[in-house]
Structure 1
């Protein structure tokens, strides 16, 4: 290299550096322009100094890649660019949902196998699961009481789940779509069962339970998102035993909206004698935040649970992947407003992917076209 060529290269490098330093970060532009770095499943992330007891930090997060997950097989079958796009989901930690579709006699074995695959030989890795076991639930819970047999089955199932978890470092999202509790004719009985389950799992040595609290736009059906209502549901279902609560399991609000809403719930719980609780936020589907009234179904035949996906970067009122899973939700790299960043560092244990927008109706089956579109339009870089 000649002296002139070397000098030109240096000047170009300095110009690029200055341009980068002068660029004003935004939540949409900055992530897409930045190369993906090591993530929480690749490198241990230490807790924020504001939240030193964060049980999700200080350890790697496991990634499950077995037959219990709907993403794994399509990822393994895919080739070329499609495989690289699906990898944006498949290679990252996700929360496995378990419910009544797993028999009482099978739940312990299934969870044990799930843990073994997720940890891949490292017993310190964090495992994530959601307990969606209450029966009836959602719409059916509004019109039918749990039978005596269903209550007994619920207790058997939870006890077997606890036996399967044992001393595994585990984050548990307890009963997604908790706002349906309000419409149940046997609300008190269901609340007692959920309280018992929360206490049972929280008593495990390394399990952190986060009770679902709806979303920034949803605490009770047809009643909006009053944080007092969210807090009341948490009090009824055992938050006194839990690490805290979870937000946005099935809605599409943004990280900033949920953090501000979560802090309001934390303040209410503290006011009412429950101490300082922490929370987690789903960011799997909030790359383009929207409220429930703004959601457009994928087709006229679909429900809002199956919202349309983004097909171009400028599209709005659509679903695409949000902030990658992280134990450092207050990091500046997420481009959050300063008040939200500080609150997240203090009260949020992590941004997790416990929502499942790549599944039909966020439930089943895996839809390749949805996954590919979301991976192509997300404002955040894929995994390194």
Structure 2
């Protein structure tokens, strides 16, 4: 047996050993063939977010807890500050597919804020705009014909809560370019990030999605870095999809981020209970019965209706879930401070220990 084959077998055994692990593998009963996410999802075994190395070096109960994240598909974030986007993305794809081109690779792309959002009041120069298009071209060339799911530009070019944006029309035109370029790839499924129901009105999100190129993409993504309930997100998805259909963009579907909403709360509720704590790094739950804190939500899957009872959804929400939602995905990263800074073993273990989902 080759070393490569042995490594793949060991990885498969490790993934299968996690108790309660839920992946989107074989198409679930009732799955729509039109859903491009149905099928085998790759699990990354590299070092990009430190979760897999932590799992590798853990033992006993801690190893099982680390496995709740490390052995489940979750999306990497690639930004303007990613070192060598082509090399980094290539390595990420290779360490997620492990030689199987049918495995779905998931990641998010942030590039419209080259100097981070603190400088959103500074207009992009012609050179900035050219660099954005070149960066997206490189991403597209690196992906080629491989099977990927892309969450594109969270928060879009918002001139809304969070501060004034100097040139939203310019930034939205760049996102449109990326949406068209990436969606033209044969096996890429693109979702434009549309925020959360505690952030923007559905009508505002609908207009932003149209301006950002929703016509090119499969649909939109909800809940990234927010912690609203699946029920609220489903209602929001239905409102946005209906608004898009009324504007000439029918059939758009959503993916919902459930990485960190096991005990859901809104931005407003969090500020009321923890006015002195940062919403970007919300407190993790220390006990299973604790609320207004972060813990892991529904495991990533395309079998979204399997969790209806556990999520306490009503009949209308169940129907909307089946109609408008392609998958539950993990885009948020509650095991990292600020969703993107340092990896925290303590945060991961607390979130894994307190989740209401197996």
Question: Structure 2 length as normaliser, TM-score?
Answer: 0.88
User: Residue 158 of structure 2 aligns to a residue in which SS?
Assistant: helix
Q: CA deviation at 1:77?
A: 2.4
Correspondence for 1:366 among 336, 343, 351: 343
Contact 1:131 1:172 in 2 (8 A): yes
Correspondence for 1:201 among 182, 187, 202: 182
Structure number with the bigger relative contact order (C-alpha 8 A, sep ≥ 6) is 1
Contact 1:141 1:180 in 2 (8 A): no
Number of aligned pairs? 336
- Supply the distance in 2 between the matched residues of 1:203 and 1:133 (Cα, whole angstroms): 19
Correspondence for 2:148 among 164, 170, 177: 170
Provide the alpha-carbon RMSD of the alignment: 2.1
Q: What pairs up with 1:183-332 in 2 under 5 angstroms?
A: 183-219=164-200, 226-295=201-270, 302-331=277-306, 332=308
For residues 164 and 259 of structure 1, do their structure 2 counterparts lie closer, same or farther at Cα, with a shift above 3 Å needed? Answer: same
Structure 2, gaps ≥5 residues long: 1-17
Question: Residue in 1 aligned with 2:82?
Answer: 102
For residues 374 and 157 of structure 1, do their structure 2 counterparts lie closer, same or farther at Cα, with a shift above 3 Å needed? Answer: same
For residues 94 and 71 of structure 1, do their structure 2 counterparts lie closer, same or farther at Cα, with a shift above 3 Å needed? Answer: same
CA deviation profile, 1:24-48 (whole Å, cap 9, x unmatched): xxxxxxxxxxx9656225x323474
- Supply the distance in 1 between the matched residues of 2:341 and 2:127 (Cα, whole angstroms): 27
Of the two, which has the highest radius of gyration?
1
Tell whether 2:101 aligns with 1:155: no
- Supply the distance in 1 between the matched residues of 2:52 and 2:19 (Cα, whole angstroms): 22
Greater shift after overlay, 325-334 or 256-265?
A: 325-334
CA deviation profile, 1:55-92 (whole Å, cap 9, x unmatched): 101x1100101022331222222222222111111110
Question: Structure 1 length as normaliser, TM-score?
Answer: 0.83
Contact 1:247 1:282 in 2 (8 A): yes
Question: Residue in 2 aligned with 1:30?
Answer: none
Q: CA deviation at 1:296?
A: 5.7
User: Residue 305 of structure 2 aligns to a residue in which SS?
Assistant: coil
Structure 1, gaps ≥5 residues long: 1-34, 220-225
Question: Residue in 1 aligned with 2:22?
Answer: 39
Contact 2:78 2:108 in 1 (8 A): yes
